[in-house]
Amino acid sequence: MLGIIVGLAQEARLAERYFPHAKIALSHAHEAGAKRAVASLKEAGVTELLSFGCAGGLDRTLQPGTIQLADYVFVEGKKYPTSPALNTRFGAGQAVIGGGVYHSPIMLDRAVEKAACFTRSQCSTVDMESGLVAQAGLPFAVLRVVCDDAGRDLPPAARDGLREGRIDIAALMGSLIRHPLQIGALISLGRDAAYARRVMERFLQKITS
């Protein structure tokens, strides 16, 4: 039985649509939540795991909308290889990149932080769930889409406006009041993230049809 870990509620809805028989757990976009999500899926009896959703770009050549079916996850200085069988199921051979996913316990919101992680690991992308999935001891795959590129500093609202994996309007508005100059960057990020979700949905339609 497949278990799927996602960070955000909208990612969970997308996974439910295309993997209706899987068990899905939400990390709420933080590492403690990812630990709880993995534990709950293992308790439910899943036998394989998929880390699914958006990722941040670390490789400057990758643009929003790039889909990655990772070859490995880099966490705490160690590489954990993904399952070749699961990679085949989730679209190996399609127009996706491989390479590594860097696990970060916190959101990397500055371009300089992303550059340092890329230098250290040579991973293509970063997220906050895949490391916990990799360490769970079950066969696993990582299917992610780049939502923000490596050269971008995320606007403060990208962090401040999230509560338990969902957009909190009050927190978002508070961030905009405190940092009004971020509005243009936030609009640009939202546009790229929406595009990335559309690309992922088209990809899921292809591999599940």
Picking from 100-104, 112-116, 159-163, which range would have the lowest pLDDT averaged per residue? 159-163
pLDDT at 165 (0 to 100): 46
Q: Where are the domains of the chain?
A: 2-208
Output phi, psi for 169, to 5 deg: -60, -40
pTM, two decimals, is: 0.87
166 strand-pairing partners = 163
Query: Region 47-58: what's the mean pLDDT?
Result: 96
Residues 149-207: tens digit of each pLDDT: 998 886 655 665 455 545 555 655 665 567 666 666 667 777 888 999 999 999 999 99
Element (H, E) at 81: strand 78-81
Query: Region 139-150: what's the mean pLDDT?
Result: 95
**What would the CATH number be for the domain defined by 2-208?**
3.40.50.1580
Query: Region 7-29: what's the mean pLDDT?
Result: 92
- Helix and strand numbers (H, E) in the chain are 8, 11
Pairing between β-strand 125-127 and β-strand 100-103 as defined by DSSP bridges: parallel
Cβ–Cβ < 8 Å for 125, 102: yes
- Mean pLDDT computed over every residue of the chain: 88
Q: What is the C-alpha separation between 201 and 167, in angstroms, rounded? A: 21
